Amino acid sequence: VYEYSLPPHGPGQGTPESFYEGGYEQYATELVLPNILRASKHYEPNPERASLFLVPYRGLMRYILDRKNPNLSNDGFMAIIDWLRKSGPWFDRHGGVDHIWIFPSGRGASIFPEWEAHIGAGIFLSPEGDGRAGLMQPH
């Protein structure tokens, strides 16, 4: 699994890890899973040899910080997707089906209103889920 190195000043990046304290600890999955991957035997630093790709975008953090303007959450995801496409052929090579996204809350992919059109074929990791919304169904 290759982990993208997202731009440090892109949406959802560069915010201190202290964000995940004071009631937001469960959302730290956005930080923990990439760390676990990098320490595992499954980590592949060369995207040419990878079969899966982790996008370590802190989407839920961005969503919470921008909750007064939900369009910013959508814009953040779209900016990351644009960056992925400019970074190499991997995102579009298989239609995103080999890309892993972390959604650390029961809201799942709904924090990205256009998720079905842009990352619907991807793999979603979540430590919790709310089946009532129909967004966290296993495939």
pLDDT-derived band of residue 13, with 50, 70 and 90 as boundaries? Answer: low
Q: What value does the mean pLDDT take over residues 37-51?
A: 97
On average, the pLDDT of the chain sits at 85
Using the predicted structure, report yes or no on whether residue 99 has a pLDDT greater than 90.
Answer: yes
Per cent of the chain over pLDDT 70 is 81
CA distance linking residue 34 with residue 41, whole number of Å: 13
pTM, full prediction: 0.85
- Distance, in Å, from the CA atom of 23 to the CA atom of 43, rounded to the nearest integer, reads 30
The Cα-based distances of 53 to 21, 23, 70, 97 in angstroms read 28, 30, 27, 9
Residue predicted with more confidence, 88 or 29: 88
Kindly indicate the confidence band of residue 40, based on its pLDDT and cuts at 50, 70 and 90. Answer: very high
pLDDT tens by residue, 101-122: 999 887 888 889 899 999 999 9
- Residue 65: pLDDT above 90? no
What pLDDT, on a 0 to 100 scale, did the predictor assign at position 4? 96
Q: Tell me the mean pLDDT in the region 2-8.
A: 89
Cα(68)–Cα(50) distance, rounded to whole angstroms?
38
